[in-house]
Structure 1
Amino acid sequence: MSQAVTALSKSRNCTKASSLLAAVVLFATPDVGYAQTDTFNVYYLGGQSNMDGFGDVSDLPEDLNQINDNVWIYHGNWGPDDAPTPDGRGRWTRLRPGHGAGFRSDGEDNTYSGKFGIELTFASRLRELHPGERIALIKYSRGGSSIDSSAAGRFGSWEPNFRGSTGINQYDHFLATIRGAMSVRDINGDGRDDRLLPAGIVWMQGESDAAFTDSIALRYSANLKRLLGLIRATLRVDDLPVVVGRISDSGQDEDGMVWDHGEIVRTEQRAFVDDDVKARLVTSTDAYGFSDPWHYDSDGFLDLGKKFAEAMVEMTDPGARPDELTGRWRVDLRPTPDAEPYYKEFVVTSVEDGSMTGQFYDTEIEDGRTNSDWGSIRFSFVTRDGTGPYHHSGELVGGRLVGTTHSPGRDFLSVWTATRTSADTN
């Protein structure tokens, strides 16, 4: 919570502070229907026009040119800087083509465009790497937008301290998007409340910050660090994995450089990633073709989505090694979503040859098993007390454990999460 509090202290007025607080509260009380729940890993997609997406839907292969029944998306409607109120209107729907440039939503109905972005292959590649993963995407991006307000032009900026005439800019529209997405308790409409776990951020932006002056470009790493820190705080995970796409240049300009200060921003992007152990830089953009001076072509967007997914998985699940379970974990066993946290310790002493040993809730575990054959680390074990056995199972997701406990004797099924406190079991 410390970074979220810091984020609030950095907000420049009450409107922005209250928007961030609302979003934080939504993640502080996860959308979970205790006994029966679907858990979705949530990825936020943000940036400017190459995150919007300029791939042509007519270029899509058949397997992508259809509705994806396994992936859900909330795409926030973009709004201008100095709008009277934040926008970000949207609705949860199954992923399909048309979430590229030109997409609009009024919160009730989506208007799909003839363009697509990275979302299609990002989701499909994630599911190839993690076949059982439930995926939910939240997208808010604005073509032409900068982080630095000095480079906003007519497209707007993400600068958290932006003032303007109303104080509203792209950062506020992002917060409104998160608030709208997280206010829905059942995103897939199956009658059961859903639990949304932030799993990563994908950021494709920086061209506009490279278009004006050296001094703006040289601020990019610091600006990006601050902005993504606030986005992480909003999503309630201080070390949430971030994948950044490196900007590239089509050369389609009289002097051979569309982004006159692009090399500086590229260096700044590398500096940000090198300074953040939970960030990766995708550099395949240098090989992409362009459909115009500013935007990648369809093949580029198809490949970029895959590269983002592979970088995310490599960072959060490098090789799916079961020994990553060993150590001490703080388990939140709160009985209901709105209850106060109730912490107990889970100690995994050893993991070897598909078996695990340790203690859960101060009780020795029995029949501990692990499985990493399906792209992530899953486990199960049994504990006992005077009422009988407790059957536990869970999965390592983005550096955290997400688990359930079933007690036949006490007739309940609980949902819990755990964060590592130490790699040492002594």
Structure 2
Amino acid sequence: MRPTLLFFLFATLLVGSSLWGKTHLFILSGQSNMAGLNPAISFTPTVKKLLANDECIVVKSAKGGEPIRRWYKAWKPAKGDGPKADGALYDRLMTAVKKAVGDKKYDTVTFVWMQGERDAKERHGEVYEKSFAGLVKQLSDDLGRDDLNFVIGRLSDCMNKNPGKSHWMEVRKAQVAVAEKNPRGAWVDTDDLNGPKDALHYNKEGYAELGKRFAEKAVALVKKGK
């Protein structure tokens, strides 16, 4: 074999080993607007396109109408002793993650979160920022990571004009704040995804666009961390 061909093969293997073959884990969870998002429509195709040389594992576990305390096990209200946190949906999510990952090793983890409507309805907006930050730490600790990325979808504008829904605005502000305070965090705007009537849930096109926005933000965080 000629030296030039040997050099070419060696260089190809070297480049491949250093730039290709990474594995990225994307964990999607939340309540109804995450439950309504089908990752196969736009999220998964987008991350695979933007990370074309790598493996992307996408796991989703979501349930409508649920507060963050069903995920964050150390959740506490601003006042009083109740309601109590139980973390059952977090355990269900982790079971799904372990099943999807198996024995594979992954290079990055990005948590994608779309939730908050129930917390606003129950008037727990003032503890939402602390609760989500706690959930991120809980997930980081359980996965043994100190480099967890996260993308949070800000609640839409469907309750913005209702003066009796101040906790809705508190949750929106908390979602932006928690993302902007963390260099590994990002948030997406959903105000234009719920149709002309500013509905609570998004329309078909809205969910497709939401998946795309989540994917683009997630990949940007992955590339930023390299």
Q: CA deviation at 1:164?
A: 9.0
Give 3-state SS (helix, strand or coil) of 1:139's partner: strand
Query: Which protein has the bigger strand share?
Result: 1
Structure 1 residues 42 and 257, CA, compared in 2 at 3 Å: closer, same or farther? farther
Aligned to 1:177: 96
Unaligned runs of 5+ in 2: 1-20, 76-81
Query: Using the alignment, how far apart are the partners of 2:193 and 2:164 within structure 1?
Result: 15
Aligned to 1:287: 192
Q: CA deviation at 1:43?
A: 0.7
Aligned to 1:272: 178
Query: Using the alignment, how far apart are the partners of 2:35 and 2:217 within structure 1?
Result: 20
Query: Using the alignment, how far apart are the partners of 1:117 and 1:257 within structure 2?
Result: 33
Contact 1:118 / 1:304 at 8 angstroms: preserved in 2?
no
Q: Deviations over 1:167-204 (max 9, x none)?
A: 5622222232233334x34xxxxxxxx44444311111
Pair 1:126-2:34 in alignment = no
Contact 1:44 / 1:200 at 8 angstroms: preserved in 2?
yes
Q: CA deviation at 1:239?
A: 2.1
Query: Using the alignment, how far apart are the partners of 1:175 and 1:316 within structure 2?
Result: 21
Unaligned runs of 5+ in 1: 1-37, 54-115, 149-156, 186-193, 319-397, 400-426
The within-5 A match list for 1:22-421 is 40-53=23-36, 116-148=37-69, 157-161=70-74, 169-182=88-101, 184-185=102-103, 194-213=104-123, 216-251=124-159, 256=162, 261-283=167-189, 285-290=190-195, 293-318=199-224, 398-399=225-226
Query: Using the alignment, how far apart are the partners of 2:206 and 2:164 within structure 1?
Result: 18
Query: Using the alignment, how far apart are the partners of 1:131 and 1:303 within structure 2?
Result: 20
Query: Using the alignment, how far apart are the partners of 1:41 and 1:210 within structure 2?
Result: 32
State the AA in 1 paired with 2:203: D
State the AA in 1 paired with 2:145: V
State the AA in 1 paired with 2:31: Q
Query: Using the alignment, how far apart are the partners of 1:123 and 1:134 within structure 2?
Result: 11
State the AA in 2 paired with 1:128: K
Structure 1 residues 300 and 314, CA, compared in 2 at 3 Å: closer, same or farther? same
Query: Using the alignment, how far apart are the partners of 2:98 and 2:55 within structure 1?
Result: 21
State the AA in 2 paired with 1:311: K
Q: CA deviation at 1:293?
A: 3.9
* TM-score using structure 2 length: 0.76
Q: Deviations over 1:305-359 (max 9, x none)?
A: 11111112222325xxxxxxxxxxxxxxxxxxxxxxxxxxxxxxxxxxxxxxxxx
State the AA in 2 paired with 1:261: H
Structure with larger Rg: 1
Query: Using the alignment, how far apart are the partners of 1:44 and 1:246 within structure 2?
Result: 17
Moved over 6 A (4+): 162-165
State the AA in 1 paired with 2:47: L
Query: Using the alignment, how far apart are the partners of 2:144 and 2:186 within structure 1?
Result: 20
User: Relative contact order: is structure 1 or structure 2 higher (C-alpha 8 Å, sep ≥ 6)?
Assistant: 2
Give 3-state SS (helix, strand or coil) of 1:281's partner: strand
Q: CA deviation at 1:259?
A: 5.4
Query: Using the alignment, how far apart are the partners of 2:100 and 2:48 within structure 1?
Result: 22
Query: Using the alignment, how far apart are the partners of 2:121 and 2:154 within structure 1?
Result: 15
Give 3-state SS (helix, strand or coil) of 1:144's partner: coil
* TM-score using structure 1 length: 0.42
Number of aligned pairs? Answer: 199
Q: CA deviation at 1:232?
A: 1.8
Query: Using the alignment, how far apart are the partners of 2:74 and 2:212 within structure 1?
Result: 34
- Root-mean-square deviation (Å): 3.0
Contact 1:220 / 1:265 at 8 angstroms: preserved in 2?
yes
Query: Which protein has the bigger helix share?
Result: 2
